[in-house]
Amino acid sequence: MRRKYLVQELLRETTQKLTQAGIERAAREAQLLFMAFFEKDELWLISHQKSEVEVEEAFFHWVERRSKNEPFEYIVNRVSFYSEEFYIDEGALIPRPETELLIDEIEKNVVDKDAVMIFVEVGVGSGIISIMLAKKFKNAKIIAIDISSQALRVAQKNIEKFGLQERIELREGSLLEPIVESIDYLVSNPPYIAADAMLESNLSYEPQNALFGGSVGDEIIQKLLDEVLKRKIRFFSCEMGYDQKDKIQNYLKNKNFSSLEFYKDYSAFDRGFTLKV
């Protein structure tokens, strides 16, 4: 069923519903839902407050979902990362802005941007990291692994969206199990939260195996470090929890590698590292 509304009326009603549900910045959220649903931009919205729109039930269903604190990105099936727009749904983690810094970190380390090289990403999720690497390093091949078939489905969709099927190969499996090739650069934003951590309620919509890295949190990172040292992978860049720097340093004490450097996120928290072997 369709109903007719003035734009300003619909925004007012939506804002009210979201406010009652305890959603912060409800007026802005109402605008964002409106713009995504009707595929309009800010300028249109400002200049058409008194225009009439026909509203389908599906819009109210979106508002209902947002009222239950479901993340906006899952509702509109869109997320932006590194100035690009990606498809997203509940099968994969919503990319976080700080992961852009992992891409910058890798870019800093690859001196020859045209080199023919093999990147491996463990935990590809929606595919954002592998896709950005393929865009930045035109002669690189990327093999991207995930343990979740749902995440691989989302990654596949994004790889096709960017026309990168020839450059990025997806493999299902755990850690580096599906890799026999020699790896030039290993990359990962693994799950790194401790199993008993108290999290915000909207995180319950995201795949739990994308968030939790084990009872302590850094178990997967440690396993990846073991693989890097065993396989003598030259570069390993990895995102981590803000409180995991000391543990990683200790874990690598007395092991053979050439350097270990940490980087911080936008809030100046430790957020990742590069290990060079």
Query: Contact residues for ligand SAM (CB under 6 A)?
Result: 92-93, 95, 99, 122-126, 128-129, 145-148, 151, 174-175, 189-191, 207, 209-210, 220
Distance CA 237, CA 113 (A): 16
Under 8 Å CB-to-CB from 257, ≥6 apart: which residues?
A: 229, 275, 276, 277
Closest approach, Cβ 158 to ligand SAM, in A, equals: 11
Closest approach, Cβ 35 to ligand SAM, in A, equals: 24
Closest approach, Cβ 176 to ligand SAM, in A, equals: 9
Closest approach, Cβ 192 to ligand SAM, in A, equals: 7
Q: φ, ψ for residue 148 (rounded to 5)?
A: -105, 125
Q: How is 166-217 classified by DSSP, letter by letter?
A: TTEEEEESSTTTT--S--SEEEE----EETT----GGGGGS-GGGTEEESSS
Q: Nearer to ligand SAM by C-beta: 103 or 110?
A: 103
Q: Nearer to ligand SAM by C-beta: 151 or 186?
A: 151
185 and 116 Cβ atoms separated by less than 8 Å: no
Closest approach, Cβ 121 to ligand SAM, in A, equals: 7
Q: Nearer to ligand SAM by C-beta: 51 or 174?
A: 174
DSSP helix/strand/coil, 113: coil
Q: Nearer to ligand SAM by C-beta: 13 or 90?
A: 90
149 and 84 Cβ atoms separated by less than 8 Å: no
Q: Nearer to ligand SAM by C-beta: 10 or 152?
A: 152
239 and 192 Cβ atoms separated by less than 8 Å: yes
Q: Nearer to ligand SAM by C-beta: 53 or 140?
A: 140
Closest approach, Cβ 211 to ligand SAM, in A, equals: 7
